[in-house]
Amino acid sequence: MGSKTLVIAEHDNNNIAADTLKTLHAASQIGGDVAVLVVGNNVTAIAESLSKVKGVTQVFRVDTKQFKHPTAEDVAPIIVELSEAFTHFLAPATTFGKNLMPRVAALLDVGQLSDVIEIESPDTVIRPIYAGNALARVKSNDSKLVMTIRGSAFDSASTNSQENASVEALESQASQQPLASFIDSQQTLSERPDLSSAKVVISGGRGLGSKENFALVERLADKLGGAIGASRAAVDAGFVSNDLQVGQTGKIVAPELYIAIGISGAIQHMAGMKDSKVIVAINSDPDAAIFEVADYGLVGDLFEIMPELIDKVP
């Protein structure tokens, strides 16, 4: 039997999340048809653009006012209703996908493959365990496979296919489930590029000492057009907001250039950045573990190095 994959699109009703395109690329590696499900409010334009993504053969759109901020409890039953026709169910390994997909897997009574970094065959994948310190090659024994895809491990699918997929509006599954409801959200506003998809990431740690000093990281990021990240210590100390934490339990990034400033390099932090192409570490402690993964290391006083670096980078 051939594979048929359903990708659950992450979006904010206006834009498709970058990780959705990465997941669509992963889906194309499974082989067979790829359909996309968009659940939201006023998502006609999003459904249209998804129909132009390379490899997508069908788009399902569930569009209703109640689904402006759908919960996992809202979306999981829709996927289950569509499940008969599909063998694979993929979503990005973002907080959206991590929240939703295990609920789907359990309703289908199958296991889930979390944070997949490589698709070897339709039933075998590679995923990191122990904070990325080991890689497991895992074969699913289920007839239906539910996966979340680590965006940093895949390219984006191209968005200008010649063949447009058909868009089908499904009967609105109005939110009748009474168990969970959205109240509000507080987004961290930033002009900088998105941390997960930025080509350059500048991260700061405890070594910066204060929230005010973290401005050095921001200035370097702005000069390089990069995103800012942080270690857990910097987040716990209140230097920056939680959603900028890079690591096992925060964001996983793999930019072209990662500059770690005042970060010692705990196992949990390295889990989130050690697949970066070029890693630079700047730290006052010559024995910091971060130097073990850095391509270029510079030992010294951050407060002397940083202004000079900000001045000298092009």
Partner 1 sequence: MKVLVAIKRVIDPYAKIRVKSDGTGVETSNMKMSMNPFCEIAVEEAIRLKEAGVAEEVIVVSVGDTSVQETLRGALALGADRAIHIEAIEELEPLSVAKVLKQILEREEPKLVLLGKQSIDTDNNQVAQMLSAITDRPQGAFASKLVASDTHVTVTREVDGGLETNRLEMPAIISTDLRLNEPRYASLPNIMKAKKKPMDLIKLEDLDVDVISHQTILEVTPPVARSAGVMVTTVDELVDKLKNNANVL
The annotated binding site for FAD is made up of 206, 231-232, 245-249, 262-269, 283
Q: Residue 269 carries which side chain, given as an amino acid letter?
A: H
Residue 105 interacting with partner 1 (CB under 8 A) = yes
Burial environment of residue 71 by CB neighbours within 10 A (0 to 12, 13 to 18, 19 or more): middle
Return the SS3 of 54.
Answer: coil
8 A C-beta contact, residue 278 and residue 294 = no
Using CB under 8 A as the binding rule, the residues of this chain from 42 to 81 that contact partner 1 are 69, 71-73, 76
Q: What is the total count of residues that contact partner 1 (CB under 8 A)? A: 85
Check binding of 178 to partner 1 (CB under 8 A).
Answer: yes
β-bridge partners, 260: 203, 281
Q: How far is the CB of 230 from partner 1 (least distance, A)?
A: 13
Residue 27 or 145: which CB sits closer to partner 1? Answer: 145
**Is-contact 29 54, C-beta < 8 A?**
no
Compare residues 31 and 297 and give the one whose CB is closer to partner 1: 297
The rounded distance, in Å, linking the Cα atoms of 257 and 158 is 23
d(CA 38, CA 14): 12
Stretch binding partner 1 (CB under 8 A), from 83-91, 96-104, 160-168, 202-210? 96-104
User: Interface with partner 1 includes 99 (CB under 8 A)?
Assistant: yes
Near partner 1 in 180-239, by CB under 8 A: 180-188, 196, 200, 224, 232
**Residues 243-272, interacting with partner 1 (CB under 8 A):** 243, 248-249, 251, 256-257, 267-268
d(CA 61, CA 72): 16
Q: Judged by CB under 8 A, does residue 85 bind partner 1?
A: no
158 burial (CB, 10 Å; 0-12 / 13-18 / 19+) is middle
CB of 192 to partner 1, least distance (A): 13
